[in-house]
Amino acid sequence: MGNKINIWYFSSFVISIIVAVPIITVFSSFFETTGGYVTVLKNTFLLDYIYNSLILLTGVLTLTFIIGVGCAYLVSFYKFPGVNFFKWALILSFAVPAYIYAYSLTAFFENYGTAFSILKNLLGEGNYNAHIPKFDGMLGAIISISFSLFGYVYVLTRASFHYQSQNLIELGKNLGFSKQKSFFKIILPSARPAIVAGLSLVAMETLSDFGSVSFFGVSTLTTGIYNAWISFDDLTLANRLSSYLLIFILGLFVIENLSRKKAQYHTSSKGGFKSKSVVHLYNYKSILAFLFCTLVFFLSFLFPVFQMLYWTIIFPKHFLDLNLIELFSNTMLLVFLSCCLLILLAFISNYGNRVSKSKFLEALNTFSISGYAIPGIILAVAFITFISWLDLNMINYLGTETIKPIFIGSIFGLILVYFIRFYSLANNGIKSGYLKINYSIDESAYLLGYSKLKTFKNIHVPYLKNSVLLIGILLTIEIIKELPITLIMRPFNFETFATKAYIYASQDLLEAAAAPSLLLILIASCFILITSRYILKD
Amino acid sequence: MTKNFLEINNVTFAASAQSKVNNVSLTIENQGDIVCLLGPSGIGKTTILRTIAGLEKIQSGKIILKNKILSSDKTHIEPENRNISMGFQDNSLFPHYTVLENIKFGADRNKKKKKGLNLNEINKLLHIEHIVDKYPHQISSGEAQRASLARSLLSNPDLLLLDEPLSNVDQNFKEEIQVKLKQILTEHKITTIIVTHDSYEAFYLGTKCGIILDGQLKQYDDPYNVYHFPNSIEVVNFLNRGILIPAKVTGENSLENDDLGTITGDFIKHYPKGSEVQLLLQPEDLEHDDQSNLKLEVVDRKFRGTNFIYTLKTTSNKLIPVFVHSHHIHQHEVDEKFGIKRPINIDHIVCF
C-alpha cells in the first residue's frame, strides 16, 4: 500500500521533527555570527582541544577494543573456570558512570588516599605517596572512560561471536589455518560490524563526556563547548563547535562504511548454521584466561564499588545525611516518566514508518537520531535557546504569558530533553525488534480481517514485549547515570543520585560523593542483572 | 451488474517498473472456480495476487468481486475489509503464536458465519495435527506452508489467493495435498486464484489457467486448451512441452516436413495451401514403430517412471521429443536408430 499521509504518518513526522530540533539548531550556527571568543579560541586553545580530544579518543578506543574484544573472545570460544559467571558479570561495568570511576581512581591513588591507607596498615608508617602511581589528567580520563564504556564493545562483539557458525571456524581448520590465523582472518573480520558498532558508541560517548574530563581538568572539545557557553556566553560558537564534533563522528562512520565496500557479514538464518563447540582450556592457558577476565571484572566494577563502599563505611555521617527516599523517588520519577514517553513515542514513530513505507520519513528518522552524538550539555543548551526564542516571539507577536517556567527548570522540560537525548536508544531498540517482523506478517493479519490498530495491538505488541522490556531497562540505566542534562535542566533543589554525587565531587568532597555514587551503582546493577539475559542475547 | 463472480477489467498490476503486468482482463464466472496463474519468476504473478488482496493500489481499470468494486482509480477497499484471504509463499505465520493459535486467527474471522470447515477436519486433511502445539520456528517450511494454508482456508473467504502454496512441500506429500486441496476447495465452493510455476500443478488444480509472459496475460483458458492449443509461440516455449518445426501446408488436412514427410490432421486455424508455417510437435504426437522406414537417431532417453521421453535428432539437426509408455518394448540406446510410425497423423494441428 503506497505512501499515504494519515495519522500514523503525521505522528511519526512530528516526533522526528521534535528530536531533530537540537541538530538543526546546532547546524544553524553556521549561518549566525559568533562573538569575539572565536578569534581568541583560534589563537589559543582550539588546537589543544582538538589534540586532547583525539588523544582521548585514540586511547579510549584502543583500550576498549582490547578489553571488549578480548573478553568477548575468551567467554565465547573457550571454557575455563568462572566463564559462565564472567559472561554476565562483565556487563556490570555499565552500572559505573565514567565520572564515578574517576572519583574512585583519584580517591584510591591520590596522596594519602586509599592505597596509602592500605600500605600504612600493612607495612606501617612510611613515605608511600612518592611510590604510588598517579592516574590523573589524560591517563586518568582514558582509564575511567574505557572501563565504564568497554561494555558496549564486549556486548556487541560477544553477540556477534555467539551467532558465528561453527562452519566458519571449521572452514578455517580445513584451509589449514592456525588458531591465531583463524582469529585474525576469519573470526575477527566477520565480527567487524559489531565491533565497529560498539566502538562507534564508545567514540560518541567519549567525545560527549563531560563529567570525567572536567574532573581531571582535561580540555577537550566538549570542555571548549562548555566554556564558550558558560564563560564567554557565546552560544553560537558552542553550537558550531558541536557541529564540528558531529561532522567528525559522521566522517568516521562514512570512512568505515566505505572501507567495508560491499562485503556481507550476516549469516543466513535459514540453514547452514551450526552451533559452536567451545574449546576446554587447561593448565596455564585456563589460568591466564581466568586472570584476564577477573582483572577486567575487578577493575571495571569491584574497584569503584569497593572504593565507594569503603568511604561510605568510614564516613557514615554522609550516608546518614542523605535523604534516601527523596533521592530514590526523584530518580525513579524521572526514569518512569521518561521511559513511558520514550517507548510510547518510539513505538508510534516506528509503526508510522512501517505502515506508511515513506522513504522521506525513514530519512528524517535517521537524521533525527544522529543527535545521540551531541553532548548532553549542548542538547540542554540548544533546548533552552529554542524555548527562549519561542517565548520571545510568542510574547511579542501573540501577547501571551511567558512559557519559560513550563520548560526550563521543570520536570517537564527535563523529561523532554531526556527524550531528545535517549530517543535514538528507544527508537533503535523498537526498530530492531520490528526488523524481525516480516511485512507479510502484517499483511497476513490485514487479510484475516485485522485493522491496523488491531494488528498493532494483537500482533506487534505481544511480539515486541521482550524488546520493550529490554529497552525500558537500558533507558533506566542510562537515565539513572545521566549527569549534564539533569544538572542544567532540573528544577531548583531537585536532586538525583547523579547530581548529588557530582555536586559533592565538584566541591572536592569525594568522601561525601561516595554514598550517592554507591547507591547509583547498586540500583543500576540491579537493573542490569534483571536484563543481562536479554543484553547478552540481543 | 455483472453475473460473474470476479471481474478484472483492464487492470495494470505494477509493484515496480520491472514487475508490471499490463491491461489484464479476466473473469471468474462461478463461485468455487479455481484459476491458476503460470509464468516465469519475477514476471509479476505475486503482484497480481497482492493487488487483488488490496495490498497494492491500481492506477486504472477495475476489480469487482460479487458485484462490489474493490479497486479502481477512485476506490480502494482496505485489505481487512475485503474478505479475501491470502497464503503467502513464505508462510507468514505469526512467530510468537503456536501453530494452533495461528490457525485460530483464521477461524476468528469465520466466527459469525459459522460455516465452512472446522479446525480438526482441516488439520487432519493437511497432516498438521502433530505440530499444532509447536511454534513456527520449530517446524519445517513445508509444514509451515500447510499451517498457513489451513489458516487461510479456515477464514472462509469470498476469494482465496495462494502464492506457490506447495512449493516447499515434500514431493511425496505434494500430490496427496494437491488432491485434498482440490477436494476442499471444490466441496466448500471456495473461489481460488493460485500462482504457481509448476504447470502440472496448475493443470491439475485449475478450472482455468492463465499464462503470464512479457508483462501480459498471454492466454486464459481451460488447462486442456492451454496445453494442446497454445495461442502463441511464447506460450509454447514457456510450457516447453513440444517443439516447433518448419512445414509447408499442402492441403486442407496435410502439411509436409523435410525430415518427417507428410503429416495429416485437423488444423485448428486455417492456412492457405503453400503457406510456410511452424508446426507444434508435442511428445505424444509421434508413435514408436521399429518396422517403420522413418528412422531417427536417439540423442537422449529420460525415464520418468510411467513413461520414457526419447529425444531424437532429424537430418536437419532438429531435436524432437517422443513419448513412449513405460511398458512398451523399447531397447534403444543413445546413438541407435528409433523408428517413427507412418503415416504421421496428429489429432489437432497447431501452427504459427
ipTM for this model:
0.75
Q: Which of A67-76, A320-329, A420-429, A509-518 has the highest mean pLDDT?
A: A67-76
| Bond preceding residue B272 cis, omega within 30 of 0 | no
Rounded average pLDDT over B310-325: 89
For B182-234, the pLDDT digits (tens) are 988 998 899 999 999 888 899 999 999 999 998 889 999 999 999 999 999 99
Q: Taking the CA atoms of chain B, what radius of gyration do you get in angstroms?
A: 24
Q: Cell 480502494: give the residue.
A: B76
CA–CA gap between residue A265 and residue A60 (Å, rounded): 26
**Considering CB atoms only, which of A2, A437, A447 is closest to B79?**
A447
pLDDT at position B112, please?
Answer: 61
- Which residue in chain A is spatially nearest to B51 when comparing CA positions? A1
Q: Which of A382-391, A429-438, B155-164 has the highest mean pLDDT?
A: B155-164
Compute the C-alpha angle B120/B126/B129, nearest 5°: 50
Are B38 and B204 spatial neighbours (Cβ–Cβ below 8 Å)? no
Contacts of B148 in chain A (CB under 8 A): 444
pLDDT beyond 70 at A19: yes
**Considering CB atoms only, which of B54, B92, B151 is closest to A441?**
B92
Contacts of B65 in chain A (CB under 8 A): none
Chain A interface includes B65 (CB < 8 A): no
The upper half-sphere exposure of residue A5, i.e. CA atoms within 13 Å in the direction of its Cβ, equals: 4
CA–CA gap between residue A346 and residue A362 (Å, rounded): 13
pLDDT beyond 80 at B47: yes
The strand pairing partners of B209, in sequence order, are B36, B221
The alpha carbon dihedral of B149, B152, B155, B157 has a sign of negative
CA–CA gap between residue A119 and residue A130 (Å, rounded): 12
pLDDT band for position A1 (cuts 50, 70, 90): very low
- Which residue in chain A is spatially nearest to B161 when comparing CA positions? A447
pLDDT band for position A263 (cuts 50, 70, 90): low
Rounded average pLDDT over B40-47: 86
Helix, strand, coil % in chain A, rounded to nearest 5: 80, 0, 20
* Residue that wins the pLDDT comparison between B34 and A246: B34
pLDDT at position A432, please?
Answer: 79
What is the signed CA dihedral for A250, A252, A256, A258, rounded to 10 degrees?
A: 60
Listed by number, the residues of chain B in 21-60 with a beta carbon closer than 8 Å to a beta carbon of chain A are 50, 53-57
Mutation to test the A interface, candidates B58, B80, B145, most A Cβ within 10 Å: B80
For B285-301, the pLDDT digits (tens) are 988 888 888 889 999 98
pLDDT at position A365, please?
Answer: 80
Average pLDDT over chain A reads 83
Rounded average pLDDT over B55-83: 89
Chain B interface includes A1 (CB < 8 A): yes
Measured in degrees and rounded to the nearest 5, phi and psi for residue A112 equal 60, 30
Buried residues in A390-403 as b, exposed as e (16+ CB within 10 A): ebeeeeeeeeeeee
B155 and A449 within 8 Å at the Cβ level: the answer is: yes
pLDDT band for position A273 (cuts 50, 70, 90): very low
**Considering CB atoms only, which of B54, B56, B109 is closest to A448?**
B109
Are A212 and A131 spatial neighbours (Cβ–Cβ below 8 Å)? no
pLDDT beyond 70 at A534: no
Q: Taking the CA atoms of chain A, what radius of gyration do you get in angstroms?
A: 25
Task: Indicate where chain B has its CATH 2.40.50.140 domain(s).
Answer: 242-349
pLDDT at position A336, please?
Answer: 94
Contacts of B80 in chain A (CB under 8 A): 446-451
Rounded average pLDDT over A185-193: 81
B95 and A441 within 8 Å at the Cβ level: the answer is: yes
Are B114 and B149 spatial neighbours (Cβ–Cβ below 8 Å)? no
Which spans in A208-234 are helix H?
Answer: 211-216, 221-230
pLDDT beyond 50 at A271: no
Are A391 and A403 spatial neighbours (Cβ–Cβ below 8 Å)? yes
CA–CA gap between residue A211 and residue A101 (Å, rounded): 10
Chain A interface includes B13 (CB < 8 A): no
DSSP annotation of A457? I
Residue A360 in grid coordinates: 522521506
Contacts of A268 in chain B (CB under 8 A): none
For B10-31, the pLDDT digits (tens) are 998 887 766 688 888 999 999 9
Task: Indicate where chain B has its CATH 3.40.50.300 domain(s).
Answer: 6-235
B92 and A462 within 8 Å at the Cβ level: the answer is: no
Question: Which CATH homologous superfamily contains domain B242-349?
Answer: Nucleic acid-binding proteins (2.40.50.140)
**Interstrand relation of B159-163 and B191-196 (parallel, antiparallel or unpaired):** parallel
Q: Cell 520519577: give the residue.
A: A333
Chain A interface includes B135 (CB < 8 A): no
Percent of chain A exceeding pLDDT 90 equals 21
pLDDT band for position A256 (cuts 50, 70, 90): low
A1 and B56 within 8 Å at the Cβ level: the answer is: yes
- Which residue in chain B is spatially nearest to A465 when comparing CA positions? B96
B86 and A447 within 8 Å at the Cβ level: the answer is: yes
A448 and B105 within 8 Å at the Cβ level: the answer is: yes
Percent of chain A exceeding pLDDT 70 equals 91
pLDDT band for position B161 (cuts 50, 70, 90): very high
**Considering CB atoms only, which of A440, A451, A462 is closest to B80?**
A451
Are A153 and A68 spatial neighbours (Cβ–Cβ below 8 Å)? yes
pLDDT band for position B329 (cuts 50, 70, 90): low
pLDDT beyond 90 at A62: yes
How far apart, in Å, are the Cα atoms of A351 and each of A362, A449, A460?
Answer: 11, 19, 9
Domains and CATH numbers, chain A: 33-270+280-351+371-537 (1.10.3720.10)
B85 and A448 within 8 Å at the Cβ level: the answer is: yes
Chain B interface includes A435 (CB < 8 A): no
Are A230 and A217 spatial neighbours (Cβ–Cβ below 8 Å)? no
For A309-335, the pLDDT digits (tens) are 998 998 888 888 888 899 999 999 999
For residue A448, what are the contacts with CB-CB under 8 A and spacing of at least 6? B80, B85, B105, B106, B108, B109, B151, B155
- Which residue in chain A is spatially nearest to B47 when comparing CA positions? A1
For A439-455, the pLDDT digits (tens) are 888 888 988 888 888 88
Mutation to test the B interface, candidates A438, A447, A453, A456, most B Cβ within 10 Å: A447
Residue A524 in grid coordinates: 543500576
Rounded average pLDDT over A60-66: 96
Rounded average pLDDT over A259-282: 58
Chain B interface includes A440 (CB < 8 A): yes
* Residue that wins the pLDDT comparison between A412 and A42: A412
- H or E segment at B100? helix B99-109
CA–CA gap between residue A487 and residue A210 (Å, rounded): 12
CA–CA gap between residue B154 and residue B103 (Å, rounded): 7
Compute the C-alpha angle B233/B234/B238, nearest 5°: 120
pLDDT band for position A275 (cuts 50, 70, 90): low
pLDDT beyond 70 at A159: yes
A446 and B55 within 8 Å at the Cβ level: the answer is: yes
For the ranges A51-55, A91-95, A352-356, A397-401, which has the lowest average pLDDT? Answer: A397-401
Listed by number, the residues of chain A in 192-251 with a beta carbon closer than 8 Å to a beta carbon of chain B are none
For B113-123, the pLDDT digits (tens) are 556 677 888 88
Rounded average pLDDT over A423-450: 85
pLDDT beyond 50 at A538: no
Are A411 and A337 spatial neighbours (Cβ–Cβ below 8 Å)? yes
**What is the full DSSP assignment across A388-421?**
HHHHHHIIIII-PPP-HHHHTTSHHHHHHHHHHH
For residue A67, the SS3 value is helix
Residue B155 in grid coordinates: 477464514
Are B143 and B168 spatial neighbours (Cβ–Cβ below 8 Å)? no
For the ranges A51-65, A328-342, B122-136, which has the lowest average pLDDT? Answer: B122-136
Chain B interface includes A446 (CB < 8 A): yes
- H or E segment at B87? strand B84-87
Q: Cell 575487578: give the residue.
A: A298
pLDDT beyond 50 at A535: yes
pLDDT at position A166, please?
Answer: 67
Right CATH number for B6-235 from 3.40.109.10, 3.40.50.300, 3.40.50.10140, 3.40.640.10?
3.40.50.300
Distance from CA of A436 to the nearest CA of B (A): 10
